[in-house]
Amino acid sequence: MLADRIENIGNGNLSEGVEIDASIKAVIEFIETHFSGFSEKVKGEITASEKALTDKLCKYFNRVAGPYPFFFHHENVENHSSGMSPQIDIGTLSREEQITVGDRNYAEFDSFFSIEAKRLPTPGQNREKEYVIGHDKPTGGIERFKKGIHGKRLGYAAIIGYVQKEDFDFWFLQINDWIEELVKTSQGEWIVDDKLRRLTVQNGNQLAKFQSDNIRLPAKSKTDKIKLLHFWITLVD
């Protein structure tokens, strides 16, 4: 099992407030350890597209993931039985043919920890809030996890942010303002727990980490949530 193979892997510095399966913890620690290093390789790319940056990130992650019992796949298909399936930007798969995470089993082609990517700011008309919610269709990063378009079977997932303008504090306040607007107007579909909470800023302010507990839509109960880890790097010189 993957969880049995992660001993002595990772930096052991998982942030306070995250108590999760060992396999998920290993992936989170991997991202914490290596994502900020990637920022140095793409520093200054303040107009690069999300697709280009994420393609580079996936290749970089796989290059440094040698000792880890998992690998990453760009544009991973969510539903293999549908030709119209949505794709998550990066899927995380076990090197073994199956994995059990908590009480859920994942087959060899299933992502057990999925990662969506967004630029900050998102370019284009009427797309400024796309980290959170789409304008006229469900293209928002948080929104797609809440609605089960991404990570329908997952308890944990991540959104990564490429900061190409402003700084971490600016986007933390801006995104939470957008969510607060939805809390006030959505009649219970968005709640205070959907807002980002600060966890860490590290590696010389190259990496920021946040967390949110996002209620599913429609929710089966008040505890029907997906926990999102938010990892941001700055590309601004």
pLDDT of residue 168: 96
DSSP 40: H
pLDDT of residue 10: 38
Listed residue (67, 61, 166) closest to 117, CA to CA = 61
pLDDT of residue 14: 41
pLDDT of residue 187: 87
Rounded to 10 degrees, what is the CA torsion of 60, 114, 212, 120? 50
**H or E element in which residue 171 lies:** helix 168-185
pLDDT of residue 202: 80
Q: How far apart are the C-alpha atoms of 213 and 142, rounded to whole Å?
A: 10
Helices (H) and strands (E) in the chain, counts: 4, 9
Low-confidence ranges of the chain (pLDDT < 70): 1-20
Q: How far apart are the C-alpha atoms of 150 and 115, rounded to whole Å?
A: 9
63: left (phi over 0), alpha (psi -120 to 50) or beta: alpha
Cβ(92)–Cβ(70) below 8 Å: yes
Helix (H, G, I), strand (E, B) or coil at 190: coil
Q: How far apart are the C-alpha atoms of 6 and 22, rounded to whole Å?
A: 8
pLDDT of residue 1: 46
Residue-wise pLDDT tens digits, 15-64: 444 446 899 999 999 999 999 899 999 999 999 999 999 999 999 999 99
DSSP 124: S
pLDDT of residue 34: 94
Both structure tokens of 1? 């099992």
pLDDT of residue 219: 83
